[in-house]
Amino acid sequence: MEDYPEELRTPPVSLVCLTGCPELHHPISAFLHSEQPPINTLALPDFSKASVLARKKNRDPLSQPTPAPPSGILKRDWLLKHRTRVPAVVAALFRADQISGDPAQWLQACTDLENLKSLIHGRSTRLVVVLVQTQAAEELSEDVMAALRKRAEIDSKHLVEFVQNDASDLRQSLNKLASLFAELCLTYYKEEGRRIRSIIEKKSSPFPELNIRYCFKIAIYAEFRRDWSEALKFYEEAYRVLREMANTSTRLPPIQRLVEIKTIAEQIHFKISTLLLHGGKIMEAVARFLKHIKTYKRLVGLPEVDFLHWEWFSRQFLVFAELLETTAASAPSSQSPQFGTSESPFSEWEFQPAYYYQLAANYLREKRCCLEQSSVSKTDLPTKITEAPDSVMPSTHIGQSARLVEEGDIVTVLPLSDAEYVAYALAEAERFQDCYEIIALYKRAQESFSSHGSQRMACLCTLGMAREYYASDDFTNSKQLFDTVAAMYRREGWAPLLWEVLGYLRDCAKRLGLTNEYTAYSLEMAALPVFSTGFEETIDFGPAGPATLSRREEIQREALNFAVETDGDPEPVGLDVDPVSPLRSVLLVAVAFHEQSVKPDSVASLTVSLLSHLPLLFKVDLLEVEFNQPACNFSMSIPLEVSPNKWLRLTHEVKSGQSGKLECLTVKAKINNNLIICCRAESPALMEDLTSWKYENQRETYPTLDPALSLSGQKSIQVDEPNPLVDLTLNSIGPALVGEVFQIPVLVVSTGHVIHGGELKINLVDARGGGMLMSPRETDESDAHHVELLSISGLPEEKEDDLNTDLSEETKSDNIRKIQYSFGVVSVPVLKEGESWCCNLEIRWHRPKLVMVYVSLGYNPGDVDQRVNVHRSLQIEGKVPFFTNHRFMMPFRREPLLISNIRSLISPLEEKKVSLALKENNIVIVSAKNCTDVPLNLVSMKIVPEGGTNSNEKLFLVQEISGISNKCTRFVPGEEFRGVFSITPLVAKSSLSLGVVCVEWTRDSKNQDQPETVTTKHSLPQVCVEEPPLVAAIECPPFAIVGDPFSLYIKVKNNTNLLQEIKYSLGDSQNFVFCGAHVHTASILPGKELVLSYKFVPFSAGVQQLPRITITSVRYSAQLTPSIAAGTIFVYPAEPKFSLEKNGSELVV
Amino acid sequence: MIVCVAVVGHQNNPLYLQSFTGSDDALKLHHIVHCSLDVIDERVNNPKRSASTLNETFLGLLYPTENYKVYGYLTNTKVKFIMVTTDLDVKDADVRSFFRKFHAAYVDAVCNPFHVPGKKITSNSFSERVGTIVRSFGPSMTL
């Protein structure tokens, strides 16, 4: 497309000529150019330059009445002329002062106008006079204007005033000018078009050339006007007439005639395609193009210049592809949902530029092919030889060539004969290297196809490129490209296509001197599944030769004897075959051990199976089998015959003294002393099918005699460890308790082996799975480990300095000792037969958890460098020793009014916090229940405030009321112990931490001298301390006697600074009579205490409920009701007799 | 005239490929069949197909080369049939009926108990039957 002249590639733009006032040309040109649609300007600085507008002497043949046969269809410069030299409008610019001032200047202006008029005479070019005023005040008189108009013979509207005194005026004037120009241009091109159209309509010209020319011109004029549909119509017409003319015209010699017609057809078709594509009609454009191709494909012309046809043909595809690419935005996917059906006869690729690039490349190859033939035939026929003339140049008509002849100073242009033209065209064509052009086209197609995901089509384009490189002897590039193509065909198993590509590759490798690759490609070819079916004999597979069995055999013989021929190089060719190599079909090695595991030093048998798809039998002179344990390697030097498509099975025995994995790595086959194939051994169980042979309809064969082994056989075997002769014992004394250091004794006794380099590994694993012994969130803190391996005690070196374990660890670096939270390693000293060694694992549980303890001992028995491992495991559960609980209470018959309790009654959804009364004795009862299976000794129980007891500010006082009486309280499983504490808060606080209850205990074991004391903590909740506004207390004797009156006082203390009003009431009771107010109200002064006094007489004995006492605070609308226990009293039937000796003090009431 | 028919397996591997033309084009036909797999891939993976065409086995014109037209067909077992013809104005109905007959022949061939699914079809009777179907395609076009 770039070869086309610019005026053809871009839509035409109207042309306006400016003359006079050169200083204004630039702003006017710039403005017109930026208009939509733009207008080009031809700026002539002064009137003397206007002669460029003059017409040539020879008249346009259109207007000549006597038709002379035209010498060509389209003139080469016609389009350019109309775009750059023939304006639609000529604008003469005069300054206002030139007109109105000096008469001499007026005369000059008149002369200039006359000149202009004469220049454009005979054309329909419009004349516009522009009067340039620098100031709006410079108004010209009416009669001067009229005189000027008359001189110029123009309408009044074609005389324009151009005011430029300020920006807005200038803009306005420019706009006015532009719209006038646009209008006049439209009229001009319309008239020109109409004029030519009338010629066509008037008489059908005897010369189709003229018809084509006229149609072309009308279309161009329509394009000037941006009337695309008319342009399209006349281009189509021109194209039609041209096609008809192809068979009838006799004006030029036949070869040149066809060249001219095709050139014109190409240009017209280019215009049509451009118009269609820019109009978004991509389907029509494609259909139009296909028709174009179909029409001209058979118009090859004479055989000696058929290369010209194919070159032209290829160019059609290239140009169309480029056009499609530039208008790629309008992809047709939305237009037709499904291609390839009767509704949409196109397929996807016809809308892709890549498709056309590829075809362009194909036809360029065709051209080169024809060119080569033409060149040959030219040299064959020396009689007809015509020297190519030196000075051939394009003639004045498009698509024609002419010869320049210089005779002295006179230069004449002569037409060419066909023979001369052919010679010239041949000489021109031979100058170009087509192969690079072809490669570039294929490359563009390939890139475009792969970006669309069409891998196979891209592959075909790559193949085209590779063939071109091959043809131009660039074997390096060629081989690289062929390799990528071969990979594709190998993957999908297209053997015939692969055969062709491998043929090229083999030849490339041969020419590049790559011995290994040559052999590899040859062997792969020989092992390809291609069979003679009759046709293959005659297909041209390139250097590969026919894809027949005999050819395969021939290639195999060549490859196997290749190194012998190049005798100077004695080194054999080495080929590596891995599980993805295409050479697996040449030699496939499967190795299967018959067992899965074997004892050390006993015999393991294995089968080595070889399979080859080479067409001929070959002999393996030496077979070397290599293992990961080099001691097991073996080789077979008896010649082995490998038959085509048949497993050769060899059974061998190996013996390994080393435990672990014994794996067969490679099998090397030496063939003919010049080829070594090194195959990676494959397990029959995991062996993949050969990509090229797996679709062949062949009998299924197995690499081993036993088909079961073929399905399960492995190329590796496990060599077991020798049996350990060591006892490893783990003991434990029942469940572990959370908090204590729990000891697990480990005993190692040698029962036959001498233990060298023994190493004991300890691992703690969560028995319920998960493996993690720490909470996932806080892995960093040591406290977060639920179970922790603390240390290993009882080691000989530790006994000496038990306190400084860290130091011993550092100094004795040869003694491995590492302990982490769940993992530990400790070394075991050398133990002779019968000796024993023991240690204790110390483990602490932070949370109750079930844990598996794994202990494994690894050692070397004797001198052999082989480790033996013994494993033991033990499941231990860590349990909580105590179930601890607590309860808050108030002192008996004392009720403080706590506001937060009232609030929580109103809104029970709020978080409930225990409230304690300020400066009152609040009782806490802590109970601890032994929930283990063993008896425990309780040492102490105390409440420790948070931050320790010696805190600066005492927030509350703690007093132990009852607790552990003697030093150690033994309590059996299930027994509960209670401690009673009194807490007196000193500060009112909404959130007060009461600290933790520490319970110190030991295991109750008799055999240990000094059992370790363990502290279990139970944290008390946060409480709210507040000052009760009212405190009610009931004072009452501890018991009563029937009929004996007693006093009951209700004391209500007002702790506030306000006057408190209370209501109080006492219910009735059958068992008592009392004196005092049933219901009453009272007021209590700030800080004072109200004492209500009642006298009761009980009627009946036993536990009796006092009348219900209710005290209501009016201010807080709160009731203080003593609990049922507080309202209960025991009534004796008569005065009791207590033993005075025992509890004399209790009698005093 | 039909110049080539092919059966292509799941891995896009050729299971059967028979050309009915002179030797010159045989390799070219291999290339054409191989490349048309790209179009089949695109059509099969294209989710834009409407519901009515979801169960359609006939894939239509895959791509026109200048001398050939290539048609495709996808069986319910995802085996692809490809047909290359030199007739440039073929009716869809004829191609459909050809593929139906060809499918029937293919089904009979793979129903052979000695045929291993996924392997190349080497049955002679299948070849003969395909030859008959191909020959019967030509005259029906000229009618």
Looking at residue A813, what is its pLDDT?
40
Q: Helix (H, G, I), strand (E, B), or coil: what is residue A318?
A: helix
- Minimal Cα–Cα distance from A246 to chain B, Å? 23
- Minimal Cα–Cα distance from B136 to chain A, Å? 22
Looking at residue A800, what is its pLDDT?
41
B78-110 pLDDT, tens digit per residue, is 899 999 988 877 888 888 899 999 999 999 999
Q: How many CB pairs under 8 A join A and B?
A: 110
Looking at residue A817, what is its pLDDT?
65
Task: Tell me if chain A has a CB within 8 Å of the CB of B61.
Answer: yes
Asked whether the predicted pLDDT for residue A532 surpasses 90, the reply is: no
Neighbouring residues of A797: CB distance < 8 A, sequence distance ≥ 6 = A808, A812, A815
Task: Answer whether A359 sits within 8 Å of B42, measured CB to CB.
Answer: no
Asked whether the predicted pLDDT for residue A777 surpasses 50, the reply is: no
Phi, psi for A43 (deg, rounded to 5) = -100, 120
Position with higher pLDDT, A411 vs A611: A611
Residue with tokens 């391996």: A789
Closest CA to A128 of A98, A94, A86: A94
DSSP letter (8 states) at residue A831: B
Q: What is the mean pLDDT of residues A346-374?
A: 85
Looking at residue A809, what is its pLDDT?
41
Asked whether the predicted pLDDT for residue A388 surpasses 70, the reply is: no
DSSP A888-907: EEPPTTEEE--HHHHHHHH-
Which residues on chain A are in Cβ contact (under 8 Å) with B83? Answer: none
* The token pair that represents A22 in the structure block: 């050169």
Q: What is the mean pLDDT of residues A908-931?
A: 80
* The token pair that represents A278 in the structure block: 């820019």
Answer whether A697's CB lies under 8 Å from B122's CB: yes
Q: In whole angstroms, how large is the CA radius of gyration of chain B?
A: 14
Task: Tell me if chain A has a CB within 8 Å of the CB of B141.
Answer: no
> Alpha-carbon distance A583 to A586, whole Å?
5
A534-567 pLDDT, tens digit per residue, is 555 667 788 888 888 888 899 998 888 765 455 5
Q: Average pLDDT, whole number, for chain B?
A: 83
Looking at residue A530, what is its pLDDT?
73
Residue with tokens 């002897």: A473
- Minimal Cα–Cα distance from A8 to chain B, Å? 29
> Alpha-carbon distance A1125 to A896, whole Å?
16
Closest CA to B89 of B64, B57, B58, B56: B64
Search chain B and give the residue with CA nearest A492: B13
Task: Tell me if chain A has a CB within 8 Å of the CB of B18.
Answer: no
* Identity at A578, one-letter amino acid code: D
Looking at residue A470, what is its pLDDT?
93
Interface of A with B (CB under 8 A): 293, 297, 333, 337-342, 345, 347-350, 355, 359, 449, 453-457, 460, 463, 492-494, 496-497, 500, 535, 537-541, 695-698, 700
Task: Answer whether B14 sits within 8 Å of A494, measured CB to CB.
Answer: yes
Strand stretches in A684-797, DSSP E = 716-719, 726-730, 736-737, 741-750, 755-766, 787-793
Search chain B and give the residue with CA nearest A541: B27
Asked whether the predicted pLDDT for residue A782 surpasses 50, the reply is: no
Range with lowest mean pLDDT among A14-23, A638-647, A949-958, B73-82: A949-958
Which residues on chain A are in Cβ contact (under 8 Å) with B120? Answer: 695-697
Q: What's the first-to-final CA gap in chain A, in angstroms? A: 126
DSSP letter (8 states) at residue A847: S
Asked whether the predicted pLDDT for residue A836 surpasses 70, the reply is: yes
Looking at residue A136, what is its pLDDT?
58
Query: Does the structure's ipTM exceed the value 0.95?
Result: no
Phi, psi for A803 (deg, rounded to 5) = -75, -35
> Alpha-carbon distance A483 to A466, whole Å?
9
Answer whether A1050's CB lies under 8 Å from A1091's CB: yes
Looking only at the bridges linking them, the beta strands covering A868-879 and A736-737 are: parallel
Residue with tokens 């009946």: A1100
Which residues on chain B are in Cβ contact (under 8 Å) with A456? Answer: 34-35, 37-38
Looking at residue A535, what is its pLDDT?
58
Closest CA to A924 of A846, A986, A997, A849: A997
Nearest to A494 among B30, B38, B49 (CB): B30
Q: Which helix (H) or strand (E) holds A855?
A: strand A849-861
Position with higher pLDDT, A785 vs A611: A611
Task: Answer whether A347 sits within 8 Å of B14, measured CB to CB.
Answer: no
Looking at residue A379, what is its pLDDT?
63
Nearest to A340 among B26, B31, B59 (CB): B59
Asked whether the predicted pLDDT for residue A639 surpasses 60, the reply is: yes
Answer whether A361's CB lies under 8 Å from A316's CB: no
Task: Tell me if chain A has a CB within 8 Å of the CB of B50.
Answer: yes
| Burial (CB count <10 Å: 0-12, 13-18, 19+), residue A755 | buried
What's the CA angle centered on A336, arms A335 and A338, to 5 degrees?
160
Phi, psi for A150 (deg, rounded to 5) = -65, -40
> Alpha-carbon distance A443 to A1111, whole Å?
104
Looking at residue A522, what is its pLDDT?
92
A1044-1068 pLDDT, tens digit per residue, is 899 989 898 888 888 889 898 888 8
CA B32 to chain centre: 12
Task: Answer whether A337 sits within 8 Å of B121, measured CB to CB.
Answer: no
Q: What is the mean pLDDT of residues A761-773?
A: 72
Looking at residue A135, what is its pLDDT?
66
Looking at residue A699, what is its pLDDT?
77
Which residues on chain A are in Cβ contact (under 8 Å) with B92? Answer: 341-342
Task: Tell me if chain A has a CB within 8 Å of the CB of B45.
Answer: no
Residue with tokens 């269609």: A276
Q: What is the mean pLDDT of residues A1108-1130?
A: 84
Asked whether the predicted pLDDT for residue A368 surpasses 80, the reply is: yes
Within 10 A of A1119 (CB to CB), how many other CB atoms are there? 12
Search chain A and give the residue with CA nearest B41: A454
Q: What is the mean pLDDT of residues A1134-1148?
A: 61
> Alpha-carbon distance A882 to A888, whole Å?
20
Answer whether A1069's CB lies under 8 Å from A1087's CB: no
Residues in chain B: 143
Neighbouring residues of A591: CB distance < 8 A, sequence distance ≥ 6 = A606, A607, A608, A609, A625, A664, A667, A681, A682, A683, A715
> Alpha-carbon distance A360 to A1030, whole Å?
107
Task: Tell me if chain A has a CB within 8 Å of the CB of B119.
Answer: yes
Looking at residue B53, what is its pLDDT?
59
Give A812's Cβ-side CA count (13 Å radius): 17
Task: Answer whether A460 sits within 8 Å of B35, measured CB to CB.
Answer: yes
User: For the whole model, what pTM was predicted?
Assistant: 0.68
Q: Which of A106-115, A478-487, A522-531, A945-954 has the highest mean pLDDT?
A: A478-487
Residue with tokens 């008489």: A203
With pLDDT > 70 as the criterion, what percentage of chain A qualifies?
A: 86
Residue with tokens 């041949």: A426
Looking at residue A98, what is its pLDDT?
74
> Alpha-carbon distance A857 to A860, whole Å?
10
Answer whether A755's CB lies under 8 Å from A633's CB: no
The 3-state DSSP composition of chain A as helix, strand, coil percent (nearest 5) reads 35, 30, 35
Closest CA to A690 of A816, A823, A834, A587: A587
Answer whether A50's CB lies under 8 Å from A19's CB: yes
> Alpha-carbon distance A373 to A311, whole Å?
15
A681-717 pLDDT, tens digit per residue, is 999 888 888 877 888 877 778 888 888 888 888 888 9
Position with higher pLDDT, A666 vs A743: A666
A256-283 pLDDT, tens digit per residue, is 888 888 888 888 899 899 888 888 888 8
**A85-to-A4, A58, A80 alpha-carbon distances in Å:** 20, 17, 8
Closest CA to A1032 of A1048, A1044, A1013, A1016: A1048
* The token pair that represents A71 in the structure block: 């010498």
* Identity at B137, one-letter amino acid code: F
> Alpha-carbon distance A1106 to A1066, whole Å?
9
Looking at residue A441, what is its pLDDT?
92
Which residues on chain B are in Cβ contact (under 8 Å) with A349? Answer: 39, 63
Q: Which of A343-352, A1120-1129, B35-44 has the highest mean pLDDT?
A: B35-44
Q: Which of A103-107, A208-212, A244-248, A1047-1051 has the highest mean pLDDT?
A: A1047-1051
Range with lowest mean pLDDT among A308-322, A562-576, A993-1007, B106-120: A562-576
Range with lowest mean pLDDT among A382-386, A496-500, B80-84: A382-386
Within 10 A of A655 (CB to CB), how many other CB atoms are there? 14
Phi, psi for A894 (deg, rounded to 5) = -135, 125
Looking at residue A335, what is its pLDDT?
43
Which residues on chain A are in Cβ contact (under 8 Å) with B109? Answer: none
Looking at residue A504, what is its pLDDT?
94
Task: Tell me if chain A has a CB within 8 Å of the CB of B89.
Answer: no
Q: What is the mean pLDDT of residues A573-599?
A: 88
- Minimal Cα–Cα distance from B11 to chain A, Å? 6
Q: What is the mean pLDDT of residues A412-428?
A: 80
What's the CA angle centered on B14, arms B10 and B19, to 5 degrees?
145
Q: Average pLDDT, whole number, for chain A?
A: 81
Task: Tell me if chain A has a CB within 8 Å of the CB of B34.
Answer: yes
Closest CA to A993 of A957, A1019, A1015, A1017: A1019
A68-104 pLDDT, tens digit per residue, is 667 778 887 888 888 888 888 888 888 877 777 677 8
Looking at residue A330, what is its pLDDT?
53
